[in-house]
Amino acid sequence: MNRAELLACPECDLLQSDSTVSRPRKALCARCGATLYQRHPHGLERTVALTAAALVLFAIANSFPILSLELQGERTDATLAGAVVALWSQNMQLVAALVAFTAILMPLAELAALAWLLVPLRFGLRAPQFGAVFQALQFAQRWGMVEVFVLGALVSLVKLGHLANVEPGIALWSFAALMLVMAAIEANFDPRDLWQRVAPL
């Protein structure tokens, strides 16, 4: 039986065969040189560990203040959820919805989907609704924008510094760490490896 399978280049769409017998760590497109896939040893285990770390950081980032502001002797702490509620009540419903969607809902959906798919797979089991959750994961990865939020928060921190005494809170550091951990997840997560592990189950 011919066990070679076809791979399409994500950049130039060239179809090329990939031998499942001697699969290299990294495969490049024969025509344009784009990376077809890159395998990471223990990629699944690493992604599970990083997802657990990211969930802890996400919980901290949403439970503690992002910044403390002191103006005319009055001190205010702002959490992310508190900021969303404040934006909503100040007639900025669209901004509030965007912040809640891209900085809270989608990152949480991404981490939850990763845990749902990968933890059972780690024990050789296929999670229920695997395909649907995988699609939800791809959607959440496109819409999760923790890095944009961290950048925005840093810029406003610098700008507010002229007007009031502003101190970054523990949640801001957690968000910054979460941004790095989520980047590491996306670097380690290999959908190809995922589907190859699921296929025999």
Q: What residue ranges bind Zn ion (CB under 5 A)? A: 9, 11-12, 14, 29, 31-32, 34
Q: How far is the CB of 16 from Zn ion (least distance, A)?
A: 8
Residue 60 in 3-state DSSP?
A: helix
Kindly tell me which of 31 and 122 has the beta carbon lying closer to Zn ion: 31
Residue 46 beta carbon to Zn ion: minimum distance, rounded to whole angstroms: 28
Kindly calculate the radius of gyration of the chain based on its CA atoms and give it in whole angstroms: 21
Compare residues 4 and 34 and give the one whose CB is closer to Zn ion: 34
CB of 27 to Zn ion, least distance (A): 11
Using the minimum distance from each CB to Zn ion, give the nearer residue, 27 or 184: 27
Judged by DSSP in three states, 122 sits in: helix
CB atoms within 10 A of CB 27: 17
The phi, psi pair for 123, rounded to 5°, reads -105, 20
- Residue 6 vs 158, nearer CB to Zn ion: 6
Record the tokens describing residue 66, joined without a space: 């992002």
- Residues 12 and 34: their CA atoms lie apart, in Å, by 8
Dmax (CA) of the chain:
78
Separation between Cα atoms, residue 188 and residue 53, nearest integer Å: 14
- Least separation in angstroms between CB 35 and Zn ion: 10
**Nearer CB in complex with Zn ion: 10/191:** 10
In whole angstroms, give the CA distance from residue 173 to residue 171: 5
CB of 58 to Zn ion, least distance (A): 36
